[in-house]
Structure 1
Amino acid sequence: KGYADDGKDPLPDKSEFVLSLFEQIMQDDLKAQHRSIIDRCVQAVYRPYIASGYKGNAPTLTDLQAEIKKQPEPEAQELALAAELFISGSLSIFAQKTNVDQNNRLTSYNILDLGEQLLPMGMLVILESIYNRVIQNWRSGRRTWVFVDEFSIFFRYPFATNFFLRMWKQVRKRAGYMTGITQNVGEMLTSKDACWMLANSEFLIMLSQSASDRAALAELLNISDTQLSYVENADPGCGLMKFGGAFIPFVNSFPEDTELYKLMTTKPADREQVKPNGV
């Protein structure tokens, strides 16, 4: 529903999304005939829902598979069979209507346990859901904060890279704020798209960096040697902040005997000291 709230025809975006799903399912076997059948079926399952004013239940992958099976071409049966594992088989977790309350103020998506087979599809569905939520919140006059941990992982997948490029360019106009978090900035710097995103980010926080990462960041962001010294063997909570065109060193040290420190520390030894019935 989010795309319609964005003031444009949602069908092209939905078709592109489903095509991306089938690209992951069929890898290099997705041909032009398959793409035409997918587009035809997406239109068939979505047009009644759009015409109704988005009332009732939105189409699911199960509905799409049923529509694909109705098509006369043998390529349609190839699509249905290839997608069976993810739509009606043992990996069909994303084929049904979600049981997550989409009206929550805070929604956390965890892809850790998806496994290699389900990970690409899971990432696609999650990213699509995030974009829809940003659009819906914008139309309702609400801001959206999106925090992506282990950000470097997503740049291993072209579809995820393309998604974040679009988000980096568009969401600020729609009251959205994108934040990527990673310990592996070196992996991100091997991607031209990731470098573009870093260079075009108004706000960056850099903690302690390795020598190779410091050199790459200095070249990308035009950081001086003096400024770069603040991310060389920096203590926890200390580093360099980029805000617009300015670079600002910072020290963010919390006294260890405070409740805030106990809540925010990520050190395993500190976490073990926090009692189960504590704050």
Structure 2
Amino acid sequence: EYNAVVSEKAAESNNLVQDKYITISLTRRSIEEARTYFHRVDADLSKTFGQLDSGARPLENQDRLRIFHDFFRPGEEEFFHFDLSDAMRKGHDFRNYICPDSMQFKADHFELGGQVGRVLFLREYASYLKDEMISKLSDFSRNLMLSIDILPIPTSEAVKEMQARILGIESDIARWQQKQNSSNNFTASVPYELEQLRAESKEFLDDLSTRDQRMMFANVTIVHVADSLEQLDADTETLQAIGREQLCQFSVLRYQQEDGMNTALPYGLRRIKTTRTLTTESTAVLMPFRVQEIQDPGGIYCGVNAVSKNLLVCNRKKLLNPHGFILGVSGSGKSFTMKEFITFIALSTGDDVIIIDAEREYGDLVRALRGEVIEISPNSPHHINPLEIARGYGAGENPIAMKSELLMSICEQQMGAGQLGAFQKSIIDRCTANVYHEFIKSGGTARQPLLTDWRSEVKAQPEREAQEVALASELFIEGSLNMFAHETNVDIGNRIVAFDLYEMGEQLKPTALTVTMETIQ
């Protein structure tokens, strides 16, 4: 049933795998200078993407060739194999391993092997772009390559260019006014177009000089591939419709399909001159990152991504800190989600599942999964001995000292905060060491001590404080709440264990939690 649920959820998502590459191309005098620059850029990109909780790594030649092989030979992805030393020995060119069977470029499309493709470019931009456009284009369920070419202009050049442009506009306005004055029209206002150009140019210069913006030349190209020309035309119409929704116009590159394809592919080439001037802020809208996908190998299903509708498959064990919370308003399904997680972990991993069940809501599930439900209450037949020392307990620390600390904690809960003084703590520590004497001496083969043994040892001490400790501990050792003063009679070794604390009153619940945590440890 769970497989059916997850399969149904997976079918609702677009099931697309998106690869995002950053290609940096530059001109340098020598290969050494270029290597130094790229080495610095690698470190900067890794650091900057790390701040976005993402990551970037440089690609090896093998990975780069695989990108082109997968594009030029669709359907043959699994057959890619390239060994550089083997190719050199045979005298083969690396292009033989990635090139398609045939390529032919037409006016408005190209043929690639048995498929057809088309290159589009972003002709007209909207006044206000949203980041939705790039993500919607990326979500289109076809083999598609979307490329955003960005050419940063040095700020000094950009400022000089804008100052020259503003000077030109002011000259146009001055000439227009001279022309009006010569016609004795001294009250005419400057035309709207010139006024708008002047305001926009000044705003652009202000962005560059005071708001620390950069001038960019941007160019958006899309290559999409289909099995037939009819399908290609339909896909082109869909992509153009997505652009029109955002008030942008995509057009086909007429007689420039080859140059367009070389621009779109991650060679780092710019073969078409369709750039548009943008500031840093405007360019940032052309952002392919809109949502973080979580799909860890070996993880469990945690729901559906609200933005992309893809499955969230999370393996918390791969995190630095694998703790998690389930938060939500009442009735939103927190308990159900927790039960779902427990079921997934039980069915798909070999991990232990330990549940502290304060509201008695996991018992039925644990029994159905053949786990052990341990009811901790005055009326329960189940008993846990908090003084039991299992193999490996303490992980290198002194187990007697840890048990002494546990008993101090329990006694303080019964006597009240701050009531346990140094005398009482010394007595508790001495008695704890005494009751474990035989057990330690036998190398762990003797009977495990019980709380009743410990209380008898406390009563045997001559100090007055010892009698106070014995009296305070009477309630949960020999009184009506003595469920911890017996030998353990439940299967703690079961893979799935639930500790049911539902019937514990407020008075003893802290003690029950302390003993439960000790048992788990």
Scaled by the length of structure 2, the TM-score of the pair is 0.24
Of structures 1 and 2, the larger Rg is shown by 2
Higher relative contact order (CA 8 A, sep 6+): 2
The normalised TM-score by structure 1 is 0.45
